[in-house]
Structure 1
Amino acid sequence: MLSQVAASLPEFVVGILLLIKGADFFVGGGSGLAVRYRVSPALIGFTVIAFGTSLPELVVNLQAAAAAEPDLALGNIVGSTVANIALVLAVVAVVNPEALQEGTHGMRQVAVMLAAVVAFALLALRGVFDLPAGITMLGAFALTMAVLWRQGVVTEETFESRGIRDVLLTGGGLIAVILGSWLLVESATRIAVAFGISPFVIGVSMVAVGTSLPELATSLTAAVRGAGAISVGNIVGSNTFNVLFVMGCAAIVLPIPVGSYADVFVMLGFAVAILPFFSSRVQVRRGWGLVMLLAYAGYIGLLFGLV
């Protein structure tokens, strides 16, 4: 067992590193390309950057579906959605709660995210995410993006456009994310088997945190620079991508059964818990960030039977 874990850990670490760097390249290139269409910072965060930082979840889930690991795919979506709020946004709130005040201008996107998570939870009641569910989710996602994009075009440029370099960064980032995702899924599956841990728990914890690292890096950097709209837009946009687009794509590839609705309910609870982050009081935002970090630690501990 130990030899199998030792052999898988380097692949796991390399996979995560490729995911992080690949997503970083994709975000940088995609942001530059978005300048040509003069898109607002909040919308760039919700769409271009959110898609870039959600690429790991997308490719990991497609890889998991292709490898007939539906529990890993579902766990990744549930875990990533929870981690984006209770880990990534919580860290942002603790480090720079003032930056979240700017994010209050994107409450429409927050409402869209909540609606997407509710739709995900309702579809989960059917007991399986299958072809009809996947088509429904992708249709809802396409409609949402079309409406938000038409409402979010502005005249000022908010990022530097670097021409052909943006294209190369975007393409190279995508390749790195695909390779990193494959390594992550393969190594995580072997580790789960070695320790007798269910693929769902591995997906909710190790894989979810690994694929959420790009969101953490991007949102924290944006918050430190005072770009709260991008930081918040990245989180709520990534969650919307995850529960509608990523899960919709995976459901079309392979039916994904819902083993435990309790974890979906937990995800719904953490999604609603995003609202106090936009309190008018800085102390409330920072305090709620600490509460969410403790809640996230408790949830992971419960999954592994530590609490």
Structure 2
Amino acid sequence: MIAGGILPDSPAVNVLVIGVASAAIWVGSGWLEESAERLSAYYGLPAVIQGSLVVAVGSSFPELASVVFTALAGVFDMGVGAIVGSAIFNILVIPALAGVASDGELETSRTLVYKEAQFYMIAVATLVVTFALAVIYLPVDGGPTLAGRVTRPLAAIPLLLYGLYLFIQWQDVSDHEADAPATEPNVPREWGKLAAGLLVILVAVEQLVGGVESLGATFGIPEFLAGVVIVAAATSLPDTLVSVRTARADRGLTSLGNVLGSNTFDLLVAIPLGVLIVGTVTVDFAVAVPMLGVLTLATVVLFAFLRTDLSLTDGESYALLLLYGLFVAWVAAEAVGATGVLKGG
């Protein structure tokens, strides 16, 4: 419901609400990420884990909130679309902007490439397998041919894999000897700022989802595509700011680690959590898998670029932006019916 039902439900008002909610997500995520970054430095976490775990989970909170609210509103396809669309945006656009913003080439490391990137590929494959199991064993009677019900036991599969990811990160933390922070943060204040950021994001995402749902209904935009384009772009703003800022500060590991860690969290935690809340959700395999195929291709391209000389050049950054432009053009073609790859859309 837009602004608690106070404002009229019109396209102009919906667009205004989406813009204001996106700005609020931007501000709230900035509070959350700054406090998470300072707290992780205070507790002595290594740079890769700061980016791939602490900052990534913080910057993923808008996506997590979008899945929860879309699941509760009965438009879970929009939430899945937001996650997948945000993941594609994160993989192609954010590293590209960080690479362009950095002074010279954006440096990476073997740890980032061989642990974070490859584990993320496993996360994508696990989500595809989970959806496939839903279609095979829990098909929807009378629904689309390739629609299946994802239940709580199936949602546990990606969550268990994320548990393994946390175990690996914990092992890395236990082996790390951290330097003392340059300045001692006010720990209670940072925790309070983090909580305030979470609250702002929750309220803003609820309004964002309501605005997108109303706008999509007005113009006949499928829920999945609305999530891929509008919700995904809005919830990806925090990740973009964090990665570009850290790249300018010559912290390539944190910048890229945020991207990969955020996507891993989105796929393995955010989507399953929506299932755990509502119990059972329906996923159209014919819509989800082509999008996940695009995500897999984008991940392979980024992996190849990062592995080449363990850096991301300006030329490679512009190539990633071009690929995202092609993806947006394809999504627009699907929305107007010019192409029909998404059979269930």
The bucket for the TM-score relative to the shorter chain is over 0.9
1:280 maps to 2:304: no
Percent identity (aligned): 22
Corresponding residue number in structure 1 for 2:131: 124
Give the TM-score of the pair, scaled to structure 2. Answer: 0.83
Equivalent residues in 2 for 1:20-99, closer than 5 Å? 20-96=26-102, 98=104
Per-residue CA deviations over 1:168-220 (Å, capped at 9, x if unaligned) read 11011000110111011000111111111111111011110110110100000
After TM superposition, the runs of 4+ consecutive aligned structure 1 residues lying more than 6 A away are: none
Question: Residues 258 and 159 of structure 1: is their aligned pair in 2 closer, same or farther, counting only changes over 3 Å?
Answer: farther
AA of the residue aligned to 2:299? A
Structure 1 unmatched runs, 5+:
none
Q: Secondary structure at the match of 1:125?
A: helix
Structure 2 unmatched runs, 5+:
1-7, 136-147, 339-345
CA contact (8 A) 1:55 1:177 kept: yes
Query: Deviation at 1:247?
Result: 1.1
Query: Deviation at 1:151?
Result: 1.0
Aligned Cα root-mean-square deviation (Å): 2.1
Equivalent residues in 2 for 1:1-307, closer than 5 Å? 4-96=10-102, 98=104, 100-107=106-113, 108-126=115-133, 127=135, 128=148, 129-152=150-173, 153-157=176-180, 160=183, 161-254=185-278, 255-259=281-285, 260=287, 261-278=289-306, 279-280=308-309, 285-305=313-333
CA contact (8 A) 1:38 1:155 kept: yes
**Matched residues in 1 for 2:293 and 2:194: separation?**
35
AA of the residue aligned to 2:25? L
Question: Residues 3 and 302 of structure 1: is their aligned pair in 2 closer, same or farther, counting only changes over 3 Å?
Answer: same
Question: Residues 159 and 57 of structure 1: is their aligned pair in 2 closer, same or farther, counting only changes over 3 Å?
Answer: farther
Question: Residues 186 and 172 of structure 1: is their aligned pair in 2 closer, same or farther, counting only changes over 3 Å?
Answer: same
AA of the residue aligned to 1:148? Q
AA of the residue aligned to 2:132? L
CA contact (8 A) 1:117 1:271 kept: no
CA contact (8 A) 1:58 1:246 kept: yes
**Matched residues in 2 for 1:98 and 1:158: separation?**
27
Give the TM-score of the pair, scaled to structure 1. Answer: 0.93
Structure 1 or 2, whichever has the larger Rg, is 2
Q: Secondary structure at the match of 1:274?
A: helix
The worse-fitting range, judged by mean Cα deviation, of 222-231 and 102-111 is 102-111
Question: Residues 109 and 196 of structure 1: is their aligned pair in 2 closer, same or farther, counting only changes over 3 Å?
Answer: same
